[in-house]
Amino acid sequence: MALNVNRKVLPDVKYLSDKAFYAVIGATLLLGFAINAIEVTFFAQYFATWNPMVFFIVYFVSAIVGVCLNVFSQKPAISFIGYLLVVAPIGMALSLVVPATSIAIVRSAVLATVLLSAIFIILAIAYPKFFSSLFRVLSLSLIVALVFQLIAIFTGFGNNSFLDWIVVLIFSCYVGADVAYATRRPKTLDGAIDSACGIYLDLVNIFIRLLAILSRRR
């Protein structure tokens, strides 16, 4: 998701090789998913005992602070802390949903997420200019889709599964857009962490939507 903003690169910033840059993105993503897996596996029952109001306050404060640190800091350590503050509350939310879902559905959602992400990453590498131009269109499309989904939830009018598929497509395109942006941004450690945070949010949103679609079918 487009978290990154155009920032002035300081002259004393150390640059990474392309291989190191993409390795940092991959390692940061894997760490985020590993943290989520630990939260879901070992802390689901603990999070379930939290007062709902406390849970939502911790979730939103941590996520908002994390995004701000990740986006606006030019220091890798601060951006990484911001990334962790984004990852942790999402793991909390997943720990309330995943354990209540069958293993088969979770596995199918993971595989579908990986497949869709791989397709759009390949497309982004092949057509970087096209995906780089999509941020505004995707942001507007996501807002419209979420508004229609809220209307469907509160009125019962509309097809939630269809809207979920639309959101899956939007976030799949976001994967391509964020990957395309990563290929042309300055290859710094801070840039790699920022790129990983955006791609992480794209992948998590795809997974959550696919989980909802597959669970509804069962």
Strand ranges inside 33-191, DSSP E = none
pLDDT for 152 equals 65
Angle 118-177-35 (CA atoms, 0-180°, nearest 5)?
Answer: 60
Mind listing the pLDDT tens digit for each residue in 5-42?
444 445 567 899 999 999 999 999 999 999 999 999 99
Q: What element of type H or E holds 134?
A: none
How many separate helices (H) and strands (E) can be counted in the chain? 9, 0
CB-based burial label for 65 (10 Å; 0-12, 13-18, 19+): middle
CA dist., res. 98 & res. 57, Å (int):
21
More reliable by pLDDT, 153 or 199: 199
Tens of pLDDT, residues 162-209: 888 999 999 999 999 999 999 999 999 999 999 999 999 999 999 999
- Evaluate if residue 160 carries a pLDDT over 90: no
What's phi and psi for 10, nearest 5 deg? Answer: -70, 145
Largest Cα–Cα distance in the chain? 56
Instruction: Name which residue leads in pLDDT, 155 or 102.
Output: 102
Could you report the per-residue pLDDT of 25-84, keeping only the tens digit for each? Answer: 999 999 999 999 999 999 999 999 999 999 999 999 999 999 999 999 999 999 999 999
